[in-house]
Every structure is written in structure tokens, then in C-alpha cells.
Amino acid sequence: MDEVELNRGLAGVLVAETKLSFIDGEEGELIIGGFPLAELAANATYEESVFLLLNDRLPTAAELDEFRADLAARRDIGDEVRAVLRRAATERKPPMDALRMGVAAATLGTDDQSNETAARRVVAVLPTLVATYWRYRAGDEPVAPRADLGHAANYHYMLNGEEPTDAEVRGLETYLNTVIDHGLNASTFTARVVVSTESDVVSAATAAVGTLKGPLHGGAPGPVLDMLREVADGDDPRAYVQAKLDAGERLMGFGHRVYRVRDPRAAVLSAAAKSFYEDSGDTEFFDTVQTFEDVAVELLAEHKPGRRLETNVEFYTAALLHGVGIPKDLFTTTFAVARVGGWIAHCLEQLADNRIIRPRSQYVGEKGRTWVPVEER
Ligand code: ACO
């Protein structure tokens, strides 16, 4: 048998070529569809970002109109899917569980023929699934999607039943663009593994939702907001951070496996949050967030002198999504609403040049056992 090196967690192993995103963890650089993150995130609509990932170029005005209209036409879910979400809400299943059930059921009543159309449906329908579940959970009736609203605006509208402000839409859109893709993160890798067996895009998205659910992947921004609120409510930030570090706790929203400098997504989300809070005329919470970052980075440097620990994407996700009115319990599902664009683009990229993803394991078990009949064990 060939000698192969055991690589737990596949760290540093290249398993696919991609044109979708590039990460330089040493320099803190992130490129999405050829654009530096900051260039794309603050300018694009989410529809433009998805089109970019699917086509490796920006759409013309006519193409964008067509793409938007096509996605908007795929937003509805039928009574059967609503029933699944109502049941999930009644049983108070966590939002990511409800989303997984909803995505798995989302093809009921549809006749998507190809992976390309199924991919568009999955992107279009995720906000409806999240918002419908959330409305049931609050004891309200779901709000039907509105085809005249863009993807981000419609998501916000379906959650709250009111049209969002331009500032809320821009903030949410910037978030969705910022986290749309990030190399072969765990959920994206999962999606590629699923389609590499020539399964289908909906199965891939369902598996990816399950992967994103885990706290090591998509679960940190909720706890970040709790922490920020405690400090905003009067705790001294320096004493608060020091107490956490002295207790041996990790500070949520700081550090990253890949980035050795500040996560570039934190910079983009921080700028978006700053402008959102300034436009709203109330910067008190955002001032607390910035003070917290400064104090925490200083104390983390003393705590781990050899390891630069700076804010990661989750820190300013919490600040921005809270500002634009996304409930804390929906931070991870909103991450899925964004990341689904990357999932489906990776699926189609994988299928365009497919080879089944099939690594190997190192056997460390027994060999040569002799069967013992059950009555003799
Ligand atoms: N607070 C305090 N100490 C930390 C933190 C932190 N946020 N992050 C790392 N450290 C410490 C570790 O405990 C470790 O100390 P040790 O050597 O005494 O055990 C040392 O710094 C080195 O840690 P790394 O090896 O660089 O961290 P790793 O790559 O294993 O973990 C991770 C990265 C999981 C993101 C970590 O920094 C962490 O737990 N952060 C807090 C949770 C968080 O914000 N998660 C969201 C990440 S963003 C995303 O995944 C989308």
C-alpha cells in the first residue's frame, strides 16, 4: 500500500481549484470573484455577487434585471414546507435545525430540472425559510415575499413585516456579500463532497446547513453580542476582558485559524457598522464596540505574546447585524442566507470538472479477529 501522510483536519491540503475566492492568511487578504473584498462588499447587491460567482464576471444591467426577476420568482414556498416550519417553530427547534428541514423540503411542489435552476431556487428560498420559521416562532403569520424588493431588502421585510430603510438594506447587503464565500471552509467543502458523488445541489445545501450549524463554524456571533451588551450595560471593558482571560476563557470574536492578522472581513464589517450607526444618529453602542476591540486586542497581546489575536468576522457581524435589526437568534441562519451563494457556486464549479472526493483513513484497529458465536461471548 502507498505511504500517505496522515493529515488530521486536512489542514493545508489542496483538494480543488477554484476561481471563487482567495485567502492570504498572513497578509489578511480576501479576494472574491477577482475583487478585493472591500471593493465588492460595499458596492454590490447580493444578486450581483451571486451572479459574479456563477459567471466569473459582473452582469450587464439587462442580465441583472433578468437574474433578479428569476430569483424573485423562486422565493415562494408551498403549504407543505410552511407546515414543516410551523411544526419546527411549535416544537421550538433551533433556527438552524428548522432551516435544514426547510431546505430539504424546499423542492416539494417545484419542477427544477437542472442543478443550475435548483441552485437558483436554493439561493432564492433560504430567506423565505428563515423568515417563515421566525414569524411562526413569534406567534405571527408569515409575510409573503415581495418580488419588487431586492434579495436583502425582501429578507428583512419578511422578518419584520415592514419595508427596511435604505441604510438597513445597505448594511445587510454588505454583510451578505462579505461572507458569501471563503475558500474551502467546512460547509463549502461538505457541499463539494456531496455533489462530487453526482448527487444534487439541494442535497449539498442541506448537508452544508448541517455543517454550518456547528459552533466551531457558524455559531460565534450570538455570544459576541451577549458580551458586547454586558459591557454596553455598564461593565468596565478592561475588567470584563481581564476576568475572562484570567478564567481561561476564549474571547469570542477574536483569533482565527487561517488569519494571522486582523480578519479582512472584520475591517469591511466594521466600516459598514460605523457608517450605519453614524447615519442612525446613535453611536453609543458602536463606541462601546470599538472600545472593547481596542482593550481586548491590547490585553490579548499581553495574554498570548507570541500569537497575534485580533477581531475575526464574527465580532463585527454581531455589531452590524444587531444594528440593522436581525435578531441574535438568527445570526447563524443569516450567515447561511449569505453563504449559500458560495455553496451553490462551488457545487457547479465542482461538477464542471468533477472527480469524486474520496480521501483515505489510517486504520488503527485490530486485525485477524476470529468470530465467536454470540452464546459463547
Ligand atoms: N481568546 C483567548 N485566547 C485565545 C483566543 C481567544 N479568542 N484564540 C486563541 N487563543 C489562544 C488559545 O487558547 C491558544 O492558547 P494555548 O496555546 O495556551 O492553548 C493560543 O491562543 C493559540 O491559539 P490558536 O492555535 O491560534 O487558535 P486556533 O487556530 O486553535 O483557534 C479559533 C482559532 C477557534 C477561531 C480561536 O481563536 C477561538 O476560539 N476564537 C474564539 C471563538 C471565535 O471567535 N470563533 C469564530 C471564528 S471565525 C469563523 O470561524 C467564521
Residue 281 has pLDDT above 80, yes or no: yes
| Same domain flag for 107 and 210 | yes
Query: Is the distance from the beta carbon of residue 221 to the nearest atom of ligand 1 less than 6 Å?
Result: no
User: Residue whose CA is closest, atom 41 of ligand 1?
Assistant: 252
Residue 78 has pLDDT above 90, yes or no: yes
End position of a domain, from candidates 305, 324, 343? 324
| Same domain flag for 206 and 264 | no
Residue 1 has pLDDT above 70, yes or no: no
pLDDT grade for 285, boundaries at 50, 70 and 90: very high
Residue 314 lies in a domain: yes
pLDDT grade for 12, boundaries at 50, 70 and 90: confident
Q: Between β-strands 21-24 and 29-32, what pairing exists: parallel, antiparallel or unpaired?
A: antiparallel
| Same domain flag for 199 and 89 | yes
CA dihedral 339, 123, 165, 284 (to 10 degrees): -20
Query: Is the distance from the beta carbon of residue 177 to the nearest atom of ligand 1 less than 6 Å?
Result: no
| Same domain flag for 170 and 189 | yes
End position of a domain, from candidates 304, 324, 344? 324
Whether the predicted interface score ipTM is above 0.85: yes
DSSP 258-317: S-SS--HHHHHHHHHHHHHHHHHT--HHHHHHHHHHHHHHHHHHHHSTTS---B-HHHHH
Query: Is the distance from the beta carbon of residue 255 to the nearest atom of ligand 1 less than 6 Å?
Result: yes
Residue 13 lies in a domain: no
pLDDT grade for 9, boundaries at 50, 70 and 90: confident
Residue 86 lies in a domain: yes
Residue 367 lies in a domain: no
Residue 16 lies in a domain: no
Segment 52-80 mean pLDDT: 97
Residue 3 has pLDDT above 80, yes or no: no
The CB-side HSE value for 37 (13 A sphere, CA atoms) comes to: 26
**What is the structure's pLDDT at 219?**
74
- What's the chain's average pLDDT? 95
pLDDT tens by residue, 117-151: 999 999 999 999 999 999 999 999 999 999 999 99
| Same domain flag for 344 and 298 | no
Residue 60 has pLDDT above 90, yes or no: yes
Q: How far is the CA of 342 from the centre of ligand 1 (A)?
A: 25
As for how many domains the chain has, the answer is 2
Written as one letter, the residue type at 372 is V
Q: How far is the CA of 252 from the centre of ligand 1 (A)?
A: 9
**What is the structure's pLDDT at 218?**
83
Query: How far apart (Å, rounded) are the C-alpha atoms in residues 251 and 231?
Result: 13
CATH number for the domain that contains residue 103: 1.10.580.10
Query: Is the distance from the beta carbon of residue 304 to the nearest atom of ligand 1 less than 6 Å?
Result: yes
CATH number for the domain that contains residue 274: 1.10.230.10
User: Residue whose CA is closest, atom 35 of ligand 1?
Assistant: 256
**What is the structure's pLDDT at 304?**
92
Residue 116 lies in a domain: yes
Within the chain, how many helices (H) and strands (E) appear?
16, 3
pLDDT grade for 110, boundaries at 50, 70 and 90: confident
Query: Is the distance from the beta carbon of residue 313 to the nearest atom of ligand 1 less than 6 Å?
Result: yes
pLDDT grade for 108, boundaries at 50, 70 and 90: confident
332 exposure class (CB count in 10 Å sphere: 0-12, 13-18, 19+): buried
| Same domain flag for 146 and 158 | yes
Q: How far is the CA of 38 from the centre of ligand 1 (A)?
A: 25
| Same domain flag for 179 and 269 | no
End position of a domain, from candidates 324, 342, 362? 324
Residue 15 lies in a domain: no
pLDDT grade for 162, boundaries at 50, 70 and 90: very high
Residue 85 or residue 261, greater confidence: 85
Residue 235 has pLDDT above 70, yes or no: yes
pLDDT tens by residue, 286-295: 999 999 999 9
| Same domain flag for 47 and 178 | yes
| Same domain flag for 171 and 38 | yes
Active-site residue list? 256, 314
Which helix (H) or strand (E) segment holds residue 194: the answer is helix 186-196
Phi, psi at 23, each rounded to 5°: -125, 130
| Same domain flag for 191 and 287 | no
**What is the structure's pLDDT at 222?**
83
Q: What DSSP character marks residue 360?
A: -
| Same domain flag for 344 and 198 | yes
Segment 352-361 mean pLDDT: 95
| Domain that includes residue 243, residue range | 221-324
| Same domain flag for 202 and 82 | yes
Beta bridge partners of 32: 21, 35
Residue reference for cell 459582473? 58
Residue 7 lies in a domain: no
pLDDT grade for 221, boundaries at 50, 70 and 90: confident
Query: How far apart (Å, rounded) are the C-alpha atoms in residues 152 and 37?
Result: 18
